[in-house]
Amino acid sequence: MNSVLHFVLGSRADWHLHRPALPRLRPGLHLVGPLAIVAACVVGWPAFAGAVGEDGSVAFGLWVGSLSIVLMAWSFVLALRPKVLEPLFGGLDSMYRVHRWAGALAVVAMFLHTSVEPEIEDGIRGVSKSVAEGAVDLAGVGEIMLYILVGLSLARVVPYRYWRWTHKLLGVPFVFASWHFFTAEKPYTNGSGWGWWFGLWMLAGICAYLVRVVGVDVFRRGRRYRVVQTEHGTSVTRLELEPIGRPLRRRLGQFAFLKLDVDGMSEPHPFTIASAPENNNLVFFIRRLGDWSQNLPGRELGGREARIEGPFGRFRPLGRTDTPTVWIAGGVGITPFLAALEGIQHHMPSPVLLYAARPEEEDLVLDRLRHAEAARKVELHLFTGADARMTPEVLDLMFPDGMEGIHVALCGPTGLVRSMSAAARRLGADTIETEDFDIRQGFGPERSVEIARVVANRGLST
């Protein structure tokens, strides 16, 4: 019984909640996207401001109902990963954070709307009473579906591949809620300006959902590549892919979604590209953590096709040509810096690299870093044990005069990135680049490997 509870509940560390990292409110193009979402929510308030019911104003209840529609529509639009919107949010990692927050707040808004149950007097019905009542029943079903699907999204014990399929169902409750919103009594007609405003948001959300689930996932599978080399370290696998046709154009520090045309490994996973943009081949260093990555050593991948979607991201490992650079990495967060090493020229100042790693696990990576250090491309500082932990005090010791004029780039576990970027900011670093990309997040233990073994032992497809 205790083993079952531990499997489901994990340890206390599995439930550790990180305080949401708020963006620095410095002026810039990256604020346009979040401000556009806020504006889209606030602008609808006048449509309901004068609505009254039997017990007084019902404006708030109606308005939060519209909020759930607008926020969920935004969440579906951002799930398309449109590159044109990346600069408006500060990169795809920020877009995904906004995507998750928009979806979460949409659920909260729906809960508030159904809790208040606003009944407007002398409202204008969108369709006949019988159709509207049927739409209410569908909205109730959609609400239950939404709570269940969001719960599955937050529970990391559900493996990624199964979560991904349940995540595709979120469009169903949105369609039900939109139909209810369209048919319900409101202070305006569906043919009015407000009717068009909210109608366009409903249409945008439904279209974005269909394009993502049908257009992108089924028909537009990504650019074709072929696996030409694999190397398996103790816990890291290196994949090299050559293009079949036109190669992917990219910048340093970007990542892509990788799908292998291998049975059981066709779902997309994001990985940073570890080869320089001048190299037509793509290289990925993949740490074997989940069931998908654990399968890599056991599969014959040579010559197999892969699909690449991307590139994405605005992470800049290097500053200006003459700018001193400090890299801070943990685990496979070293990947964008491996690509940047290929672009280091002799006239450029060698970056200072602080790397927290487990030497018995990152052997493929450490070999390459030591070769780069021998070639004087990087000044390497390794933190490889419990007695050599990378802490913010390390920067105080290394830069007693501060970090003014230094370009700092960080990539790795969330806790490391947050603590070290705060220290670099305190020391006056000129620019600080971070990328915290977790496509799922959630709470609880991650059990994809164990569940995959159980499914395999029962003779089911994994």
Averaged pLDDT of the chain: 83
In the predicted model, is pLDDT for residue 3 greater than 90?
no
Is residue 139 located within the same domain as residue 214?
yes
Q: Categorize the per-residue pLDDT at 444 as very low, low, confident or very high, splitting at 50, 70 and 90.
A: low
Does a structural domain hold residue 14?
no
Confidence (pLDDT) at 461: 45
How many independent structural domains does the chain possess? Answer: 3
**Are residue 209 and residue 234 in the same domain, yes or no?**
no
Q: Give yes or no: residues 192 and 240 share one domain.
A: no
Phi-psi region of 38 (alpha: psi -120 to 50; beta: other; left: phi over 0): alpha
- Could you tell me if 213 and 240 lie in one domain? no
Mean pLDDT within 311-335: 85
Same domain, 182 and 276: no
Residues 308 and 340 in one domain: no
DSSP readout, 291-322? HHHHTGGGS--TT-EEEEEEEE----S--STT
Q: Which CATH number covers residue 404?
A: 3.40.50.80
In a domain, 409, yes or no: yes
Predicted structure pTM score? 0.81
Q: How far is the C-alpha of 341 from the C-alpha of 334, rounded, in Å?
A: 11
Q: In this model, does residue 386 exceed pLDDT 70?
A: no
- What is residue 374's predicted lDDT score, i.e. its pLDDT? 87
Assess whether pLDDT exceeds 60 at residue 435: yes
Q: Is residue 212 part of a domain?
A: yes
List C-alpha distances in Å: 272 to 30, 34, 111, 187, 234: 22, 25, 38, 50, 20
- What is the rounded distance in angstroms from the CA atom of residue 145 to the CA atom of residue 156? 18
In a domain, 440, yes or no: no
Percent of the chain with pLDDT over 90: 31
- Do 234 and 194 reside in the same domain of the chain? no
Domain ranges, residue 235: 223-312
Q: Is the pLDDT of residue 359 over 70?
A: no
Give me the pLDDT at residue 264, please: 75
Domain-embedded: residue 350: yes
Q: Do residues 137 and 201 both lie within one domain?
A: yes
Neighbour tally for 191: CB within 10 Å:
10
Half-sphere exposure of 459 (CA within 13 A, CB side): 0
**96 and 205 share a domain?**
yes
Cα distance from N-terminal residue to C-terminal residue, the chain: 26
Q: Are residues 246 and 154 part of one domain?
A: no
Instruction: Please check whether residues 248 and 363 belong to one and the same domain.
Output: no
Average pLDDT over residues 265-272: 85
332 and 302, same domain (yes or no): no
CB 403 within 8 A of CB 375: no
Higher pLDDT, 152 or 24: 152
